Copies of this chain bind each other. A is one copy, B any other.
Amino acid sequence: MRYPAQHKQATRERIVRAAARRFRTRGADGAGIAALMRDLHLTHGGFYRHFPNKDALFDEALQLGFVEISDYLEAAAKDAAPGEALKAIIDAYLGPKHCDNPGTGCPLAAHTAEVARRPRLSRTAFERVLRSQVKRLAKHVPGRTEEERQLKTAVLFSGMAGTLSLARTITDDQLRQRVLDDARSFFVKAVTA
């Protein structure tokens, strides 16, 4: 059946959105095309009308994921008192809401280790989308030059992603909370010192 004009684009976006969530929740290897399409009440065959292969979808899902978390952090910064933007961002990043929802959370926490194992080409694609978000968030991070701010931003967020990832492995709720609380002051100190 032939579909209305914007139908294809809309389906494509639904696929990317669902993939961004599934990949982060289950890992890129752990999330299959068939299950993804089934969630959208579609069949796996149709996937290839939208993407050449799974890797291409991963790249787009990654990009969406980075934009989502940056938006979330920017919103937290906007609500903060003057001069408290960076602290608000760190609190939001290491907050229970982010920790409990990896599916809509930072791709660094979800995908850095698996991307590190991928061939060069995948890694440069990762770098590209990461860099655009680093640039966006660097304005909140202190530093004499733009390069210094961007480097510090990369270290800060990759560091927080590591701790967030660890927190997600912890089964005891109280201990997880304690690790996150400790991490907040740790990273605030590191970035402002």
Contact = CB atoms under 8 A, between A and B. Distances in A.
Contact of A160 (B108, B110, B123, B162): B162
Nearest to A120: B171
Contact of A193 (B178, B183, B189): B189
Taken together, the copies of this chain in the complex come to: 2
Nearest to A184: B155
A152 B30 contact: no
A128 to B, nearest CB: 11
Contacts of A170: 123, 127
A170 to B, nearest CB: 6
DSSP class of A's interface residues: helix, strand, loop or mixed?
A: helix
B187 A159 contact: yes
Given A152-B186, A159-B163, A165-B162, A171 B102 contact: no
A113 B190 contact: no
Nearest to A189: B193
A158 interface: yes
Interface size class of A (residues with CB under 8 A): 35 or more
Contacts of A156: 186
A13 interface: no
Interface in A87-146: 102, 108-117, 120, 123-124, 126-127
19 contacts: A108-B162, A110-B113, A111-B113, A112-B165, A116-B169, A120-B171, A123-B170, A126-B169, A154-B163, A154-B182, A156-B186, A159-B183, A160-B162, A161-B162, A162-B162, A162-B165, A186-B190, A189-B189, A193-B193
Given A27-B117, A158-B163, 17 more contacts: A30-B117, A112-B162, A113-B114, A113-B165, A114-B114, A123-B169, A124-B171, A151-B179, A152-B182, A154-B163, A154-B166, A155-B182, A159-B183, A161-B162, A162-B163, A186-B191, A190-B190
